[in-house]
Copies of this chain bind each other. A is one copy, B any other.
């Protein structure tokens, strides 16, 4: 790595090796450790640093707390022709969601459409990783995750739902796949954290403080508000139903009621895949995606807005730049990673 201002800059492969060794020393199999490291570094490469290696210390804590099972017995709980319930046995989210999307793709190839309900996993990380993997195989894919309450419910002055992310990806032709990966909040938790670090006031309508009052103070902002009021919190509520309640692992009610289970970290995921080849000519689909992108990019641009981008495009560019120049890691996070590495006697250098 080399220093640059307050950020450390790390070569992606070195970061992946380091993270993988941390997870292996923390008890994961080498295969699982490699998957988790790859998913986190993938997020960093695309500029989604909130879902990148800054999560490493938290994952290690989850193992220590017994919430993340480093040696899970992931198994199929229920099987239907087009769907499967996968019991993740508290696996690391990236491991369980990778298994889940692979199962959804397999089901889609035999049934046209396939869904995997991933039960009792942990932090699912950046959902775009899994939908993009399916899009690269030529399928359309969607992923959802249900998690604990960290976003205000519309009309309430407290966290009631999760910022439940939604990702959708479809293959492109000459272009990269279209990749949407969004949370249902007005603003990502990562942006609130960034405002806290830089101490910039936040716009009104972004967040509540810990007592539930609206605030523009970046130090006080704790609870993001839902995107579009009842739309964002309604979506988040239904995502909990589709991910957690379908597989009888409720998260929100347990947490809001303050039950012992509600104090544990757990998530549930859903992976859906559509085998495009079953419903039309895949090459024609890909050409139409490119044609649509071209038509969108030919729209008159907002004179104040710069270039018109399609979902995934900004991330693709950040990735190209970071593959070339390395991944910037804020010094405070870099130092924390090194401490975790030292504690676990990691030999890979960072």
B-binding residues in A (CB < 8 A):
78, 80-83, 85, 107, 110-115, 117, 140, 153-158, 160-161, 166, 168, 170, 178, 180, 182, 186, 212, 227-228, 230-232, 234-235, 237-238, 240-242, 245-248, 250, 252-253, 256-257, 272, 274-276, 278-281, 284-285, 288-289, 291-292, 294-296, 298-303, 305-311
Contact = CB atoms under 8 A, between A and B. Distances in A.
Nearest to A83: B112
Contacts of A280: 246-248
* Copies of this protein, total: 2
A contact patch SS: mixed
B292 A252 contact: yes
Contacts of A160: 295-296, 299
12 contacts: A81-B81, A83-B113, A153-B299, A156-B296, A158-B299, A180-B235, A237-B292, A237-B311, A248-B280, A248-B281, A256-B296, A256-B299
Contacts of A253: 288, 291-292, 294-295
A228 B275 CA distance: 30
A300 B82 contact: no
A62 B39 CA distance: 49
A153 B114 CA distance: 30
Given A158-B300, A256-B299, A310 B237 contact: yes
A160 B300 CA distance: 10
B81 A112 contact: yes
Given A160-B299, A256-B295, 15 more contacts: A80-B112, A81-B111, A82-B112, A83-B279, A155-B302, A155-B308, A157-B299, A158-B300, A160-B295, A178-B238, A182-B230, A186-B228, A212-B300, A246-B285, A253-B295
Contacts of A294: 253
A107 to B, nearest CB: 8
Most chain B beta-carbon contacts within 10 A, residue among A245, A274, A300: A245
A317 to B, nearest CB: 14
Given A160-B296, A227-B231, A253-B288, A238 B180 contact: yes
Contacts of A231: 182, 227
Contacts of A114: 82, 113
B279 A117 contact: yes
Contact of A309 (B110, B230, B275, B306): B230
Contacts of A298: 256
Given A110-B81, A112-B80, A112-B81, A242 B170 contact: yes
